[in-house]
Structure 1
Amino acid sequence: MNTVREEIFALLRDYASLVPARFIQIPSNISFAEMNRCLVELIALNPHFQLYAPSNQYQRSFWKTMVRQLEDLLNRSGEEDEEIDPRILDHYLSTSPTSGPIPGSSAPSLRGQICDRGLPLGEPPSKSFVTYFWKPKLNQVQEHSHQDMVNLTHYRSSTLEESRTTIEGGTTGLRTWFASHMLARYLIQNPSIVEGKCVLELGSGIGYLGIIVASLQQLSPKVSSSLWLTDVNEEVLSQCRRNVQLPCNISSTHKSVEFRVLDWEEVLHSNVKPLENLLQNQINPDIIIGADIVFDPALVPPLVAVIALVLQFGSKSGIQRSAIIALTVRKAETFQSFLDHGREKGLLFEDIPLPEAKGFEFVDAVETGASADNVRVLRITLHRT
């Protein structure tokens, strides 16, 4: 099934990106038979989701919602000869910790076990594979003969294993944040920024942007691209490596991806030569990227100092280096501190217009309060006197 209705693709995208089931609605213009078939073929039996599945908690919540909505759709259709595909029910039951009636029914014994978000009470969110669909720039301009249809072959996907808890073990790096999606959109719309370049990412987290950048570099005919992914937390960086190297991701075929522990606070040490050697000689990037790395006021001075250190010299390609940083403004004081410290170091800040969502299927409904309204994407350069 390479071509599907837009509404069906939206549901597939929502499931893959772990949109809470309470926000997912079966399209009203789709027949019961078609919806039944698509849920089986595109989700329940999808080989990708069998290898890289969402958590059992999420799957229970999703299928509970789908079964209830399918029952409603069947009742409205009046098609007495139709029934919910047994494979849907079997798949749902396989995710349940205990046997019992299908959630969504009126069984009081089960209602007491399920919270309003569709997760079993007392069961914390577990690690889960999440998949994001995105369309390379070349495919964004292709015309479709049927505008209400989506050709799945025009899309790429990026899959990660991440924690859906906000903070796990004291680090925010084990999940993907909203600003990362905005920067990914911008880079996908402007792939020349990373094609044929040496890219350094600060605060790579579990590798979402790294997968996007490595994929864009692999999709380019240029072969001189390289990518350095850095983070201060070794556990997070190990997860980053595993995600980038997942066989389902194009990034797994990239031969020039390096993973390196990098502590920004080293720039404030009396002996900064080792860090200078790493950044200027060993990595020698053409461009720096980073997403949602401006959140802790204590980290602003070392972050700014690292950016300024890298931008001091031209890249090996002879062009002036720049940094592209996406951030969510949670506290105005922290953002202003970032700007003030940067200007003291001679940094220039330019706002980049946020990319339109058309052609991009990134969804992140988990980060409470996050929206494009409080996301900034900045191009940073060093003032030359």
Structure 2
Amino acid sequence: MAPEDHEGATSLLQSFERRFLAARALPSFPWQSLEEKLREPSGSELLLAILQKHEAVPTEPLDALYEALAEVLMAKESTQCHRSYLLPSGDSVTLSESTAIVSHGTTGLLTWDAALYLAEWAIGNPAAFAGRTVLELGSGAGLTGLAICKACHPRAFVFSDCHGRVLEQLRGNVLLNGFSLELHTPTHPGSPKVTVAELDWDKVTASQLSSFQADVVIAADVLYCGEVTLSLVRVLKMLTDCQRRTTPDVYVAYTIRSHDTGKLFVTELDRAGISWEEVPPHASKLFPYEEHSAVVILKLVLNVHHGVRRRLEK
């Protein structure tokens, strides 16, 4: 197989692998690209590589495995699943997530596209987090934070949310990925101190926010309605006023689902005197998500009231 063909085949195999481990729907797999590759002269080598990857042990499966598979297929469909997201290091983030968009009255039990996009950007910009204390607002299933903990070497990471079921799942996902939630007991030297905090944006106090002493604040896919957007800006304004040291860097990622998605947010930021600028889009595609999603990351500067404000492109 020619080097360029080998590179293309490897990329295609990785695309299938990432989607499979993340439990994506079969129609989202690059079937057309695979069909085109198989029709090329080197297609037989690609097919062999696929078979070798998924049949690494050249022995017949035990009958017990077939029986176990039958039991799984006949079992009642679970409302939870496990998804794994591969990191460039070869490590992965594995999450327990809901199989439903809305479950237990919340959308926070599964990973959304902006969380994946922000995690990709963070992995490509580890210096923004290395050796620093990071507070995540609305952590949801925990993908972004866990990716940062594994790839960006923060000193400490605070996951936060307000929904009881989300917090329960979030704590489980933190433990599932090998981090301890015991105070002052990092998993191993160099591992960040990880905590999970209940944080209601409508009830949080300045003293509670100040206690985190965050150097960086992040949030992903939390601008899904006007009421929540106003609450988020309230928290950001409170962070401006309560920090004893320098104010933190803030990164907010959201999917543009309509022209109004970010319009209210930036309007309220301007009103609160919080400067912002759009982070240049990145081309890194580490995780499988909706190809046509339009995701924006805004970097906010809390202690500058008269800075440059770059309007979002329509």
TM range (shorter): 0.7 to 0.9
Q: Specify which of 149, 155, 158 is matched with residue 214 of structure 1.
A: 149
> Is 1:377 paired with 2:293?
no
Q: Name the SS of the counterpart of 1:361 in structure 2.
A: coil
Question: What does the per-residue CA deviation read over 1:305-348, in whole Å, with 9 as the maximum and x for residues that have no partner?
Answer: 101111335564x4x42210000122322421111111111111
Aligned to 2:16: 11
Residue 124 of structure 1 deviates from its aligned partner by: 5.3
> Is 1:304 paired with 2:225?
no
Residues 1:174 and 1:346: Cα distance change in structure 2 (over 3 Å): same
Aligned to 1:95: 69
Share of identical aligned residues, percent?
23
Residue 95 of structure 1 deviates from its aligned partner by: 3.2
Residue 87 of structure 1 deviates from its aligned partner by: 3.7
Q: Specify which of 5, 10, 22 is matched with residue 27 of structure 2.
A: 22
CA distance in 2, matches of 1:17, 1:161: 11
> Is 1:264 paired with 2:194?
no
Instruction: Could you tell me which runs of 5 or more consecutive residues in structure 1 were left unpaired when the two chains were aligned.
Output: 46-83, 100-119, 136-153, 268-274
Contact 1:245 1:252 (8 Å CA) reproduced = no
Aligned to 1:363: 288
> Is 1:277 paired with 2:251?
no
Aligned to 1:351: 278
CA distance in 1, matches of 2:131, 2:235: 23
CA distance in 2, matches of 1:256, 1:134: 20
Aligned to 2:170: 240
Residues 1:247 and 1:343: Cα distance change in structure 2 (over 3 Å): closer
CA distance in 2, matches of 1:18, 1:310: 37
Letter paired with 2:271: E
Instruction: Could you tell me which runs of 5 or more consecutive residues in structure 2 were left unpaired when the two chains were aligned.
Output: 1-8, 181-185, 307-314
Residue 249 of structure 1 deviates from its aligned partner by: 7.3
Residue 216 of structure 1 deviates from its aligned partner by: 2.8
Aligned to 1:329: 256
Describe how 1:78-117 pairs up with structure 2 within 5 A.
86-87=60-61, 94-96=68-70
Letter paired with 1:161: S
Cα RMSD for the two superposed structures: 3.2
Aligned to 1:201: 136
> Is 1:132 paired with 2:71?
no
Question: What does the per-residue CA deviation read over 1:340-380, in whole Å, with 9 as the maximum and x for residues that have no partner?
Answer: 111111111200012112xx420024xxxx734x2110001
> Is 1:231 paired with 2:176?
no
Residues 1:363 and 1:93: Cα distance change in structure 2 (over 3 Å): farther
Residues 1:315 and 1:155: Cα distance change in structure 2 (over 3 Å): farther
Describe how 1:307-322 pairs up with structure 2 within 5 A.
307-312=236-241, 316=245, 318=246, 320-322=247-249
Q: Name the SS of the counterpart of 1:295 in structure 2.
A: coil
How many residue pairs get matched?
281
Letter paired with 2:86: F
Residues 1:381 and 1:161: Cα distance change in structure 2 (over 3 Å): same
Q: Name the SS of the counterpart of 2:251 in structure 1.
A: strand
Residues 1:21 and 1:311: Cα distance change in structure 2 (over 3 Å): same
Contact 1:311 1:322 (8 Å CA) reproduced = no
Residues 1:294 and 1:96: Cα distance change in structure 2 (over 3 Å): same
Describe how 1:21-170 pairs up with structure 2 within 5 A.
21-24=26-29, 25=31, 28=38, 29-31=43-45, 32-41=47-56, 86-87=60-61, 94-96=68-70, 126-135=79-88, 154-170=89-105
Letter paired with 2:286: E
CA distance in 1, matches of 2:287, 2:62: 26
Contact 2:127 2:152 (8 Å CA) reproduced = no
Letter paired with 1:131: S
Residues 1:10 and 1:85: Cα distance change in structure 2 (over 3 Å): farther
Contact 1:244 1:252 (8 Å CA) reproduced = no
Contact 2:132 2:156 (8 Å CA) reproduced = yes
Residue 262 of structure 1 deviates from its aligned partner by: 0.6
Question: What does the per-residue CA deviation read over 1:135-174, in whole Å, with 9 as the maximum and x for residues that have no partner?
Answer: 1xxxxxxxxxxxxxxxxxx422111010121111210110
Residue 129 of structure 1 deviates from its aligned partner by: 0.9
Question: What does the per-residue CA deviation read over 1:249-291, in whole Å, with 9 as the maximum and x for residues that have no partner?
Answer: 7996545111111110115xxxxxxx111111x1011111000
Residue 203 of structure 1 deviates from its aligned partner by: 0.1
CA distance in 1, matches of 2:150, 2:125: 13
